[in-house]
Structure 1
Amino acid sequence: MIKYKFIKAQLAKTNKKNDENYVITRIWHRLDNENIKFVTQQYVIREDGKYALTDMFFPQLNLHIEIDEGYHQSTIQNERDRFRERDIISVTNHEIKRIDVTKGIKEVHEQIHEIVDYINEKVKKMGNDFIPWDVEKEYSPDTYIKKGEIRLSDNVAFKTIKDVTNVFGHNYKGYQKGGAIHPYYDDVLLWFPKLFPNGEWDNSISPDGTLIRERNEHEHKRDEHINRVIQNKKHKRIVFAKVKGPLGHIMYKFKGEFKLDITDSIKNRCLIWKRVSVTVKTFPHKKIS
């Protein structure tokens, strides 16, 4: 049931894009393989710090599908697409396949069928290296502890704060606070913010995900909070923001590792956190005295 809801949620993202919806839906149904995971509108960070959204992504295969509508045929847009594609490949080392939907339906179907055949052949060649899609393992801390790292491109989100803390070395049975110490690094805090106005806090993240502003709404508390954070020496934060997951429930999504910019924080009278890494190490359980 969880997998079914996830698939419906991914397809629903394309409901207002007719060509994209048609092609993605047809690819998925012709594959007819529940062991293959796909994501629509996959977030990819480019080399210049900006981001791109690819139309369809198969994370087990490191394969992106891009659907080219009419406006992609112009010389200027065509050049932009080639530059964007080179950028994505350079950053991710993934593969990109394109489908031109400006042709007739027969040619569109032929392109789709070629991609479906390519995916099936790729899965076959991977053999035992192909790991079937398991929703429960996907949300399990053990999966990422064994992997040894979490990358922003993995689109990782956990169901609870406890799961986040445990992927970095804790062994909590339950945890509900807004932050936790990092068992292995003295200067790092695990942070689980709401990146939107809530209560006395007005927190936000920039559109490109590289900067977080943390501001107390109460004037008399603002400077005190800034000074306290500056003085506690934990100037790096691994951020898992509170979000609504693809199935509508609350999750904690990885946003990267951020470092406090002290000068800008004092100048703007709010804490300014700037992203310094899109990859963080994970750790086995560590006993904390």
Structure 2
Amino acid sequence: MEEKTKSKYISEMLNKRTKGKDYENFVINQIYARIDNPELEIVTQKCVRPTKGVDITNLTKVGKNHYLIDLYFPQINFAIEVDEGHHENVENQFNDKQRENLIKGSVSCDIKRIKICKPGTKIPQNYDDIIQQIKEMVVEIKGKISEWEKKNNQKLKWITNDEKIKGVKNCKVFDACEAIHFGGITKVLNLLPGIKHSKLYQRCVKNFDIYSIWIPVLSVRLDDGTVKTANGWENFINEDKDKIIEYPSDEKYNKKLDTYNAPTGSSPPKWGSRKRVVFMKMKDDFGNNCCRFLGVFKPDHIEYENGKQKRIYNRIATTVTFAEIVRKS
């Protein structure tokens, strides 16, 4: 990554994402400046679906079971919350697009806190008390960096998303274990040998002989029970991200895709012949559209729920080579 691009990333993370939150902005900038390590990656307002070990107390909620962490350092898996004396209205701060941000890397770490106000009040502490907390936090972070470097026997290095994509292109392998944000289906297709789409590819599926590349839009079940969909198609993924459930958009599609009437007690039919290389649409750390590789999924079976077709895909692999995707049958 060029220094100019890295500088822009850091500038936006330290300013744009904390706009209108004066104390939070002050604390985060102080912490990052005092650490003084350009190889430490920084993410502000990170959206997560917490796993065990995450204290969600006072985290900002942005949808069903999704929260924001004020400051996160992904390399050392260290998070910080700035506890001010009030909580802003989420609906006024984050639009509906952030509610759709379901597939984000969850974190499992302790969340440290910096208290802005005096205990039990909304009265800010004095400057020296806040600065002392910041200094103690910086010492802890530097300690975490030293621990990481000793454990990995190397110096900390910020590997940017662009550099990760270059690595994928060189290795010619998609790996679900790597947290890489791809720009969209067009950029994914352009990584494959012999496949070039200079113009924006509009469809969410690209078929090859044995595989299909599939970038579905994940449906969102809101707190009031309603489901937000793309063109009526409902796509859900389980917590382990190894099973996708797809509902066709309406009865017309149900009849078109499958006219099978399952006899009582019989197993529902399987369908399709292609394995699916799945990338799920999501938001990056700035709220921009992108996608992330989830693995190779295989159509497993069809069920019927209240007369509606329900298609089940199971993950069969977390890696796939470029050559395998484009291979002729």
Q: What is the TM-score when the length of structure 2 is the normalising length? A: 0.57
Kindly state the Cα deviation for residue 250 of structure 1 after the two structures are TM-superposed: 3.5
Partner of 1:88: none
| Superposition CA RMSD, Å | 4.6
Partner of 1:65: 79
Structure 2, unmatched stretches of 5+, are: 54-64, 86-105, 120-124, 220-228, 261-268
Partner of 1:160: 184
**Conserved? CA contact 2:299–2:312, under 8 Å:** yes
Identity %: 18
Distance 1:96 1:45, change over 3 A: closer
**Conserved? CA contact 1:140–1:158, under 8 Å:** no
Q: Quick one: which of 231, 236, 251 aligns to 2:290?
A: 251
Partner of 2:252: 220
- The structure carrying a bigger helix percent of its residues is 1
Q: Matches of 2:107 and 2:161 in 1, distance apart?
A: 25
Q: Matches of 2:214 and 2:29 in 1, distance apart?
A: 37
Partner of 1:28: 32
The answer to whether structure 1 residue 280 and structure 2 residue 318 are counterparts is yes
Q: Which amino acid aligns with 2:130?
A: I
Can you list the C-alpha shifts for 1:3-41, whole angstroms capped at 9, x where unaligned? 344335544445576665444332222233333212232
The answer to whether structure 1 residue 203 and structure 2 residue 227 are counterparts is no
Q: Quick one: which of 123, 127, 133 aligns to 2:159?
A: 133
Q: Which amino acid aligns with 1:112?
A: M
Can you list the C-alpha shifts for 1:190-235, whole angstroms capped at 9, x where unaligned? 3112335344x4334469685755444443223323569942144x
Q: Matches of 2:66 and 2:167 in 1, distance apart?
A: 27
Q: Which amino acid aligns with 2:32?
A: W
Q: Matches of 1:273 and 1:22 in 2, distance apart?
A: 48
**Conserved? CA contact 1:145–1:282, under 8 Å:** no
Partner of 2:71: 56
Equivalent residues in 2 for 1:69-148, closer than 5 Å:
69=83, 96=110, 98-101=112-115, 104-118=129-143, 121-122=146-147, 125=150, 128=154, 130-140=156-166, 142=168, 145=171
Partner of 1:87: none
Q: Matches of 1:261 and 1:231 in 2, distance apart?
A: 8
Q: Matches of 1:70 and 1:195 in 2, distance apart?
A: 33
Q: Quick one: which of 234, 242, 251 aligns to 2:281?
A: 242
Distance 1:127 1:106, change over 3 A: same
Aligned residues: 259
Kindly state the Cα deviation for residue 265 of structure 1 after the two structures are TM-superposed: 4.8
Q: Matches of 2:169 and 2:49 in 1, distance apart?
A: 22
Can you list the C-alpha shifts for 1:241-273, whole angstroms capped at 9, x where unaligned? 334544565322345665656354555624444
Q: Quick one: which of 125, 149, 152 aligns to 2:175?
A: 149
The answer to whether structure 1 residue 231 and structure 2 residue 271 are counterparts is yes
Structure 1, unmatched stretches of 5+, are: 72-91
Q: Which amino acid aligns with 2:36?
A: D
Q: Matches of 1:2 and 1:8 in 2, distance apart?
A: 10
Q: Matches of 1:141 and 1:182 in 2, distance apart?
A: 24
**Conserved? CA contact 1:3–1:135, under 8 Å:** no
Distance 1:16 1:244, change over 3 A: same
Q: What is the TM-score when the length of structure 1 is the normalising length? A: 0.63
